[in-house]
Amino acid sequence: MGGRQTVKSLFKMVDILGCFSAAEPALSVVQLAQRTGLPRTTVHRLVDSLRAAGFLEQEARGERYRLGLKLFEIGSVALANLPLYREARPFVDTLSKLSGEVVHLFVFDGAQMVFLERATDQARPSNVITTMEATPCHCTGVGKAALAFQPSETIERVIARGLRRFTPATIVDPEALRAELAATRARGYAIDECENEPDLRCIAAPIRNAAGNVFAAVSVSGPRRRIAVERTEALAEMVAAHARLISVQLGWRAAGR
């Protein structure tokens, strides 16, 4: 009986940790109770346990909590042992050298894209600033490249979360996004036409695991003056080829091979 109760408490703790995001980095016990549907007394008890273990940190005023550094330590170990991180790094570096542009590697977490790796051609400095956090799917090259190959239920769940506008070019209409994802599936790669950052064009391709499921994406990005429309097709072939090589390295085999 005690073991079953411990497992239930563990799942409740996971639910609490899952409430935090880049948009909401700090939450109170009341907010956590509202989001999880758990009684406030239960949340308070579990939050105390998570804080004691280093998974949560209490703000100075004591009303709200943030994810603790212990999670970052565990995440760093998980990242270092992630097959994608190990296998993709040489291809990410090579793609950056061949394209002369910034290359990003992201993983799809079911709702958004999580930053994993970045490579820059040292011969060509870049003004692109990358933060190690999650980015939306509807307005980034890597996001559309991954989302396009997900089940329709997943696509609709992402749309239901809201399509926030980041630039005048951001796709915020659900039907327009569905059409864009269909076009991405047909050509095998995605294009971010300054939809997430002004004047930044991005070309991305999906990465598959051994089972053939798309779970990540790799991209080449840079200012429009460098990644001109005339370069799009050549860069797309280059990105797609490296995405396939990474997928094969992870155990994927294309049909008929």
Q: Is residue 254 part of a domain?
A: no
At residue 131, the pLDDT reads 41
> Domain check: are 68 and 100 in the same one?
no
Q: pLDDT for 182-238, tens place per residue?
A: 999 999 999 999 999 999 999 999 999 999 999 999 999 999 999 998 999 999 999
What pLDDT is stored for residue 194 in this prediction?
A: 95
What lies within 8 Å, CB to CB, of 200 at 6+ separation is 128, 192, 194, 221, 222, 223, 224
Pair (41, 154) in one structural domain:
no
What pLDDT band is residue 127 in, cutting at 50, 70 and 90? very low
| Average pLDDT over every residue of 151-163 | 93
90 and 201 in a single domain? The answer is yes
Residue written as tokens 């630039």?
A: 167
Among 36, 32, 75, 41, residue whose Cα is nearest residue 55: 75
Of 202 and 114, which is predicted with more confidence? 202
Residue where a domain stops, chosen among 73, 95, 112: 73
Tell me how far apart the 2 most distant CA atoms of the chain are, in Å. 66
Q: Average of pLDDT values for 8-15?
A: 91
Of the residues 54, 73, 92, which one is the last residue of a structural domain? 73
Q: Say yes or no: 143 and 64 in one domain.
A: no
CATH number of the CATH domain containing 241: 3.30.450.40
In terms of domains, do 100 and 174 share one? yes
Query: Do 235 and 162 fall within a single domain?
Result: yes
Of the three residues 55, 73, 91, the one that is the final residue of a domain is 73
Is 231 found in the same domain as 116? Answer: yes
The CA distance from 191 to 200, in Å, is: 11
Q: What is the pLDDT of residues 12-55, one digit of tens each?
A: 999 999 898 767 889 999 999 999 999 999 999 999 999 999 99
Instruction: Look up the pTM and report it.
Output: 0.74
Which domain range does residue 65 map to?
Answer: 2-11+20-73
Same structural domain, 90 and 51: no
Give the closest residue to 148 by CA, choosing from 194, 99, 113.
Answer: 113
Q: Are 76 and 223 in contact (CB under 8 A)?
A: no
